[in-house]
Amino acid sequence: MFGSISETQKAILSGDIKCVDVVDHFLQKIDEKKHLNAFLTVTREQAYDAAKKQDKLVSSYGRAVLERLPLLGVVVSYKDLFLTKGVRTTAGSRVLESYIPTYSATIVERSHTSGMIMIGKTNCDAWAHGASGENSDFGPTLNPHNNEFVPGGSSSGSAVSVAAGLSHVSFGTDTGGSVRQPANFCGIYGLKPTYGAVSRYGVVAMASSLDCVGVFSGYLGDCKKVFDVVRGTDGRDATLKNGGFHIGRKPVIGVPDEYFSEDVDPVVLENVMQALEVFKGGGYKVKRVKLPSTKYAISVYYIVQPAEVSSNLARYDGIRFGESREMFGLEAKRRIVLGTFVLSSGYYDEYYKKASKVRTLIINEFDEAFKSVDVLISPVSPSTPFRIGEKSADPLKMYLSDILTVPANIAGIPALSVPFGRYKEFPLGFQLMGPKFSEEILFEVAGDFERMTDYKFIPV
Ligand code: GLN
């Protein structure tokens, strides 16, 4: 009854439950799973208010309410990087511990006008810097499958919110993998759309040429529904474009050799190979492709990203927003220093300019690959979830968690984390990447896979 969006809406419209019951259900789960530290703020009152209003509309208009509120009764959480009018927004950092925004992000507005009900703001690595959820100033988020392990990051609380059944869906941000990697570690879908497909207006900026707003869901259909509501131009984010296409035949799947290297845990590789067998069995054509510059992607990312971080974080000078710049944690400081260095005169050409050139190479290689295949399949994270504390003292080790996800950000292409398989108590999965604005194709391929494997989402 509280499973997918369509199940929930069916129960509401048939009168079996009210929107208030949906909110009750998720709030109770949030209380039960408090130890996971997935939420920084729970918006109990607002959720009940919104649900009561919707219940009135349902009793006046019946089914027709869906024309006005297509996502009626859908309970959503937001990474604490999305500005929510009147509701504290911390970006996971003490700097913004008591910051109350005066306006909401476009995606928040669009979610609410389509009928979604906000249940709270989720924990995340401070400023979205991290791959484990341990770098939050409000304590780590725990993996619901085993509490001694990380859920992935930086959108840690959002992934846990969906995987543990604390909300139907959640919004995160993905600059280098922060939606796909935690989705992978928690066993749910995670979409990083095309760069410029979803507005970043009202989102705390990390690295503006890479930042994307992404969606977490347990059910593939829900991911698509939510994406469709928030995508598209809003006149407030200049990078936005409307786009999308179909190909009218079975997509050809590309297997990039470089993503199947010895840096990837054999358990993870073996599982992706099994997924590939499922596709082959389903009549998909599979082709090997080469993306030779993949090996430079992480270096490019750790030049371009800190450079942009250093300019974006300059606004938190303690005067306009937040408490004091002294509250910045170690990781943010590391990136500010690194970014300022690669942009400094004398080093700009050697680092930033060179990285920009290699970025173009990576983009060109993807373009070339997409001439012969429609989508690419790869692992998401090179490892299964790691223990809390295992990588937190070694930034380089932590950075390498993103080797397979950053290329899509560098090229601005869409990518989807698909849950499939298990290793011990942990879920596994794979990544599908496609050319810009190919989200429909990614959904189509993942949907076909879901049917072929008879996949069912069960919250932990
Ligand atoms: N883990 C990567 C980083 O630390 C990606 C973060 C993100 O996508 N926000 O930069």
Average pLDDT over residues 348-352: 93
Sequence-distant (6+) residues with CB within 8 A of 163 are 144, 145, 151, 186, 187, 188, 218, 459, 460
Return the exposure string of 120-146: e unless at least 16 CB atoms fall within 10 Å of the residue's CB, then b. Answer: bbbbbbbbbbbbbbbbbbbebbbbbbb
Under the banding of pLDDT at 50, 70 and 90, the label for residue 326 is: confident
The whole-angstrom distance between residue 183's C-alpha and the CA centroid of its chain comes to 7
In the predicted model, is pLDDT for residue 192 greater than 90? yes
Output the six-digit token pair for 11: 């129960």
Q: Atom of ligand 1 at shortest distance to CA of 178?
A: 8
Average predicted confidence (pLDDT) for the chain:
97
In the predicted model, is pLDDT for residue 363 greater than 90? yes
In the predicted model, is pLDDT for residue 14 greater than 90? yes
Task: Say how many Å lie between the CA of residue 13 and the centre of ligand 1.
Answer: 40
Under the banding of pLDDT at 50, 70 and 90, the label for residue 16 is: very high
The three-state (H, E, C) secondary structure of 364-380, written as one string: HHHHHHHHHCCEEEECC
CATH topology of domain 253-415: Amidase signature (AS) enzymes (3.90.1300)
CATH topology of domain 5-230: Amidase signature (AS) enzymes (3.90.1300)
Percentage of the chain beyond pLDDT 90 is: 97
- What sign results for the dihedral spanned by CA atoms 34, 39, 44, 50? negative
Catalytic: which of 155, 156, 178, 199? 178
Q: Is 397 considered catalytic here?
A: no
Distance separating alpha carbons of residues 336 and 95, to the nearest angstrom: 15
Residue from 122, 123, 125, 129 to probe ligand 1 pocket by mutation (most atoms less than 8 Å from CB): 129
Min mean pLDDT across 15-19, 378-382, 393-397 is at 393-397
Task: Please give the full DSSP string across 137-203, using - where no structure is assigned.
Answer: TT-PPPPTT-TTB---SSSHHHHHHHHTTSSSEEEEEESSSTTHHHHHHHTSEEEE--TTSB--TTB
In the predicted model, is pLDDT for residue 321 greater than 80? no
CATH 3.90.1300.10 placement within the chain? 5-230, 253-415
Q: Is 383 considered catalytic here?
A: no
Would you say the CB of residue 206 lies under 6 angstroms from ligand 1? yes
Under the banding of pLDDT at 50, 70 and 90, the label for residue 265 is: very high
CA-wise closest residue to 194 among 416, 412, 440: 412
Distance separating alpha carbons of residues 381 and 132, to the nearest angstrom: 12
Distance separating alpha carbons of residues 169 and 189, to the nearest angstrom: 10
* Contact between residue 405 and residue 381 where contact means Cβ atoms under 8 Å apart: yes
Beta bridge partners of 378: 431
Q: Atom of ligand 1 at shortest distance to CA of 301?
A: 10
Q: Atom of ligand 1 at shortest distance to CA of 335?
A: 10
Catalytic: which of 29, 33, 79, 224? 79
Distance separating alpha carbons of residues 223 and 245, to the nearest angstrom: 18
Distance separating alpha carbons of residues 433 and 117, to the nearest angstrom: 30
* Contact between residue 105 and residue 83 where contact means Cβ atoms under 8 Å apart: yes
CA-wise closest residue to 443 among 215, 271, 285: 215
Under the banding of pLDDT at 50, 70 and 90, the label for residue 324 is: confident
Tell me the backbone φ, ψ of residue 346, rounded to 5 degrees: 100, -35
Q: Is 178 considered catalytic here?
A: yes
pLDDT of residue 376: 98
**Closest residue CA from atom 5 of ligand 1:** 176
In the predicted model, is pLDDT for residue 25 greater than 90? yes
Write out pLDDT tens, residues 105-121.
999 999 999 999 999 99
Under the banding of pLDDT at 50, 70 and 90, the label for residue 317 is: confident
Under the banding of pLDDT at 50, 70 and 90, the label for residue 318 is: confident
Average pLDDT over residues 267-294: 98
* Contact between residue 365 and residue 435 where contact means Cβ atoms under 8 Å apart: no
Write out pLDDT tens, residues 152-163.
999 999 999 999
Task: Say how many Å lie between the CA of residue 176 and the centre of ligand 1.
Answer: 5
